[in-house]
A = this chain, B = another copy of it.
Amino acid sequence: MKQTKTFIPTMREVPSDADIKSHQLLLRAGYIRQNTSGIYSFLPLGKKVLQKIETVIREEMEAIDAVEVFMPALQQAELWQETGRWYSYGPELFRMKDRHNREFALGATHEEVITSLVRDEVKSYKKLPLTMFQIQTKFRDEQRPRFGLLRGREFIMKDAYSFHASEESLDVTYQDMMQAYTNIFTRLGLNFRAVIADGGSIGGTGTHEFMALSDIGEDTIAYSDNSSYAANLEMAEVNMDYDKSDERLKEMEKVSTPEVRAISDLVTFLGVEANRCIKTLVFKADDAFVVVLGRGDHDINDIKLKNVLGAEVVELADEVEVKKLLSCEVGSLGPIKLPLELKVIADKAIASIVNGVCGANEEGFHLMNVNPERDFAVDRYEDLRFTLEGDTSPDGNGTIKFAKGIEVGHIFKLGTTYSAKMDATYLDENGRAKPFIMGCYGIGVSRILAAVAEQFNDESGLKWPKKLAPYQVHLVAVNVKDEIQKELADELHKLLKSYRYEVLYDDRPERAGVKFADSDLIGLPMRITVGKKATEGIVEVKFRQTGETVDWQREEITEKLQAFFGAE
């Protein structure tokens, strides 16, 4: 493609409204333009990258027998009313009316539409399992669109849905998807992790997120430095053997601790280590109070607590409630001599505390040399805390480290959440109607474009992985008015095209400096520059990833190109 024929509006200045690298560079290099808040046009370079992403996704979906469909963006409100999401989805769901005043949702996701389709057409277990996918524009009216393509209001997704007659069949497809996603992100060259995730509002029983690692990510991932274990911080298990000191159990002692309220006060005031302190919290779990104990250097994870208690809602009791319950301030709570009817649940780390410190349930006093079992009872020991960097990985291999990630894919076991509400059933072997067991599987196609740009760049511009670059080679004629240069460049353009390389040919009558700066900004894997040495049949080749430059003879170009691009 000749650069004079295409549309690559580059910018020298960093756009003032773009605050992350990928957004700045995709704008500056002419890949995208903003239409209005959270809504973008993909310009020719951006569209080319999208197509490459889509091709890889399509191939991997087809490899696991997912079939492609294309469902509408305009979705009648009635469908969303069946699942109740018309009411629960909130203002993120764009809504509108047609000329006859009928209400529509603008497709934010397609569970309702596809469940309705399958409900109408699939009647027997013999037609299951069935997996369908589509690549399509989605609409979500984000409260605060930001980070360019990372959180927009109109974006491109691959969404897939599977239908099953058994949990085992869902498990098989879920594992197929896990592998397909791993293949996709690997082929795209993304630095990513598959992490155990929280089902969130979409519901379901098992779920993994695929995270592109990046400092600007909005999620924290806990991963092992020596295994494939990775989980969203909220979901990361702690499965550790805590060392228990063999020191002699001392006599419990009450000490005055004026002004001590937080663990950090205690550490300073008494000179004890935080890991000897017992943090005592009162939670309200679906209206019942429960006392929760954690070590002073640990934080309690609400989600784990909620799951352990099997509660719908879990929240900290407020000061008034605590005072009423235990006649004591929140800052002086401890597990000793609590009312018998109050359940006590402790993080596993508590069991290993010897001669610990806790509140005395009396304003201004703490107790020292407190020991579990001897001095207070615990109803259950559970994994209740957030993991920390340095913890042993729960699979026993390696230690935990933290990273930030951008969610680029998400797979869910939905179970019968949607099919039951929509009365979408098939007949089993015995002729009994049963709700479809479902899975759903998303990939943020346009988000990948940004995530890759975020991972592959330097101060001069983008640095595309070979498989994702809009073109493979940037052929630059330094001076198109120089006949010899022009002729060689034209010849190479033809040659490379005949070898099926994707070539962007800078045939513009611009200064060399402008061309090189644009070329670095656009970031194709290889630049072939036809300059003064054209007279000797020599071109300069620059590899964008390494910055390395070499001279190639005209005759050796095709062979060397193959060595470079064929290698992958």
Q: Does A306 belong to the interface (CB within 8 Å)?
A: no
Known: A35-B113, A76-B35. A143 touches B70 (CB 8 A): no
Give the nearest-CB partner of A152 in chain B: B72
A65 vs B51: C-alpha distance when bound (angstroms): 18
Q: Does A99 belong to the interface (CB within 8 Å)?
A: yes
Question: Looking at the complex, which of A89-97, A377-385, A472-480 is the stretch in contact with chain B?
Answer: A89-97
Interface string of A119-161 (1 = CB under 8 A from B): 0111000100010101001010101000000000110000000
Give the nearest-CB partner of A33 in chain B: B117
From B9, B96, B121, B130, A96 is in contact (CB under 8 Å) with B96
Query: Most chain-B CB neighbours within 10 Å: which of A9, A46, A126?
Result: A9
Interface residues of A in 15-52 (CB under 8 A from B): 33, 35-36, 39-44, 46-48, 50-51
Asked whether B99 lies within 8 Å of A7 as measured between CB atoms, the reply is no
Known: A5-B65, A76-B35. A70 touches B96 (CB 8 A): no
**Chain A interface mostly helix, strand, loop or mixed?**
mixed
Interface size on A, residues (CB 8 A): 56
A120 vs B130: C-alpha distance when bound (angstroms): 47
A7 vs B117: C-alpha distance when bound (angstroms): 11
Give the nearest-CB partner of A134 in chain B: B47
Q: How far is the CB of A252 from chain B (nearest CB, A)?
A: 57
Q: Does A68 belong to the interface (CB within 8 Å)?
A: yes
Give the nearest-CB partner of A9 in chain B: B121
Asked whether A70 lies within 8 Å of B94 as measured between CB atoms, the reply is no
Q: How far is the CB of A27 from chain B (nearest CB, A)?
A: 11
Q: How far is the CB of A410 from chain B (nearest CB, A)?
A: 23
From B36, B121, B509, A7 is in contact (CB under 8 Å) with B121
A220 vs B402: C-alpha distance when bound (angstroms): 69
Q: Does A316 belong to the interface (CB within 8 Å)?
A: no
A39 vs B153: C-alpha distance when bound (angstroms): 22
A99 vs B106: C-alpha distance when bound (angstroms): 13
Q: Does A74 belong to the interface (CB within 8 Å)?
A: yes
Give the nearest-CB partner of A40 in chain B: B72
Tallying the copies of this chain within the complex gives 2
A91 vs B75: C-alpha distance when bound (angstroms): 19
A35 vs B107: C-alpha distance when bound (angstroms): 13
From B2, B5, B7, B42, A70 is in contact (CB under 8 Å) with B42
Asked whether B39 lies within 8 Å of A99 as measured between CB atoms, the reply is no
A429: chain B residues at CB < 8 Å are none
Give the nearest-CB partner of A508 in chain B: B126
Known: A35-B113, A74-B39, A154-B73. A7 touches B47 (CB 8 A): no
Q: Does A172 belong to the interface (CB within 8 Å)?
A: no
Q: Does A71 belong to the interface (CB within 8 Å)?
A: yes
Asked whether B36 lies within 8 Å of A76 as measured between CB atoms, the reply is yes
Give the nearest-CB partner of A41 in chain B: B71
Asked whether B73 lies within 8 Å of A113 as measured between CB atoms, the reply is no
A509: chain B residues at CB < 8 Å are 126
A6 vs B67: C-alpha distance when bound (angstroms): 6
From B39, B51, B72, B91, A154 is in contact (CB under 8 Å) with B72
Asked whether A70 lies within 8 Å of B47 as measured between CB atoms, the reply is yes
A116: chain B residues at CB < 8 Å are 35
Q: Does A235 belong to the interface (CB within 8 Å)?
A: no
Interface string of A47-60 (1 = CB under 8 A from B): 11011000000000
Asked whether B74 lies within 8 Å of A139 as measured between CB atoms, the reply is yes
Asked whether A67 lies within 8 Å of B7 as measured between CB atoms, the reply is yes
Asked whether B130 lies within 8 Å of A7 as measured between CB atoms, the reply is yes
Q: How far is the CB of A504 from chain B (nearest CB, A)?
A: 11
Q: Does A241 belong to the interface (CB within 8 Å)?
A: no
Asked whether B74 lies within 8 Å of A154 as measured between CB atoms, the reply is yes
A71 vs B34: C-alpha distance when bound (angstroms): 10
A47: chain B residues at CB < 8 Å are 68-70, 134
Give the nearest-CB partner of A129 in chain B: B5
A99: chain B residues at CB < 8 Å are 91-92, 141, 143
Give the nearest-CB partner of A43 in chain B: B69
Q: Does A98 belong to the interface (CB within 8 Å)?
A: yes
Q: Does A285 belong to the interface (CB within 8 Å)?
A: no
Known: A7-B130, A96-B95, A98-B94. A44 touches B72 (CB 8 A): no
Q: Does A274 belong to the interface (CB within 8 Å)?
A: no
Interface residues of A in 101-120 (CB under 8 A from B): 106, 113, 116-117, 120
Asked whether A68 lies within 8 Å of B95 as measured between CB atoms, the reply is no
A163 vs B91: C-alpha distance when bound (angstroms): 39
Interface string of A452-471 (1 = CB under 8 A from B): 00000000000000000000
7 A-B residue pairs with CB within 8 Å:
A7-B130, A39-B74, A42-B69, A44-B69, A74-B154, A92-B99, A106-B106
Excluding A41-B71, A74-B153, 14 further A-B contacts by CB distance (< 8 Å) are A1-B67, A7-B132, A9-B121, A9-B122, A35-B76, A35-B113, A39-B72, A41-B117, A44-B132, A47-B68, A50-B70, A74-B139, A94-B96, A98-B153
Lowest 6 A-B CB distances belong to which pairs? Answer: A96-B96, A9-B121, A42-B70, A44-B67, A91-B99, A5-B65
Residues of A at the B interface (CB closer than 8 Å) are 1-2, 5-7, 9, 33, 35-36, 39-44, 46-48, 50-51, 65, 67-76, 91-92, 94-96, 98-99, 106, 113, 116-117, 120-122, 126, 130, 132, 134, 137, 139, 141, 143, 153-154, 509
